[in-house]
Amino acid sequence: MNQIAKIKELERKIGYKFRNFNLLVMAVRHSSYTNEHKQERLECNERLEFLGDAVLEAVSSEFLYQNFPEKPEGELTKMRASLVCEPTLAYDAREIALGSYLLLGKGEEATGGRGRDSITSDAFEAVIGAIFLDGGFANAKEFVLAHVLDDVEHKQLFYDSKTILQELIQGKHEQLSYELIDESGPDHDKQFTVAVLVDGERVSEGEGHTKKAAEQQAAYQALLLYRNRE
């Protein structure tokens, strides 16, 4: 499948038909691709990401204001931060397999760029920006509601799962700790696996390209277990 046909597949997946299809192509074009193909820097997705970030913040702010009338400004700010942070948006990007549609340079491709949270989350915001430019605020809002604001309760946990887990078990258990149980891959593309230990008992595991990311993922999995038990 050629690049355009593949990106057409993404268009069908996100459920929005572009009038200017080039905007979607730009949204998935990483700077490593433009550098490698001697294109102008402005042809990559960074400007669309900038725009999408602003649209995302506006939509999520309105959504939280309308749906959580009992919460004060400080709590709403924290909730919004959890929904628009890099790990959450990377999760949203994985839900539509956005990484598989990205246009990357060979170097970025070789070092695992398609699975890197920083790249996929930026591309996700660029898609929002592309929809906004092509179809206006209403269409961009519809996309955000469907793909970002569809599971607020669980996605809040992505923001700082370690802190939330610490608060959850505080006073109930003796000790919360994290154990590195595996480290693999070359230096430029490390994969870490970390376990959460509660009172010395392994509760959950998480993976990531950094130890911190693996710890957050492990803490998130532990939170899901505790919430399901409740």
The per-residue pLDDT for range 17-50, each reduced to its tens digit, is 999 999 999 999 999 999 999 988 899 999 999 9
Please tell me the distance from the alpha carbon of residue 31 to that of residue 145, in angstroms, as a whole number.
28
pLDDT value of position 35: 92
Which of 207, 206, 201, 159 is closest to 185 using CA atoms?
207
In this structure, how many other beta carbons lie within 10 angstroms of the beta carbon of residue 37?
A: 11
217-91-118 Cα angle (round to 5): 85
The per-residue pLDDT for range 53-96, each reduced to its tens digit, is 999 999 999 999 999 999 999 989 988 988 998 888 998 999 99
The per-residue pLDDT for range 109-158, each reduced to its tens digit, is 988 889 888 899 999 999 999 999 999 999 999 999 999 998 887 777 76
Ramachandran area for residue 214 (φ above 0: left; ψ -120 to 50: alpha; else beta):
alpha
Task: Write down the catalytic residue from 53, 86, 142, 207.
Answer: 53
Task: Write down the catalytic residue from 49, 125, 160, 215.
Answer: 125
With both helix axes pointing from N to C terminus, report the angle between 137-147 and 46-67 in degrees, rounded to the nearest 10: 70
Please tell me the distance from the alpha carbon of residue 214 to that of residue 3, in angstroms, as a whole number.
32
Please tell me the distance from the alpha carbon of residue 50 to that of residue 30, in angstroms, as a whole number.
14
201 given a catalytic annotation: no
Please tell me the distance from the alpha carbon of residue 165 to that of residue 112, in angstroms, as a whole number.
30
53 given a catalytic annotation: yes
pLDDT at residue 103 tops 90: yes
Centroid of chain to Cα 142: 18
pLDDT value of position 230: 61
pLDDT value of position 45: 97
Q: What is the pTM of this model?
A: 0.79
Write the CA distances from 166 to 17, 138, 205, 206, integer angstroms.
44, 39, 16, 16
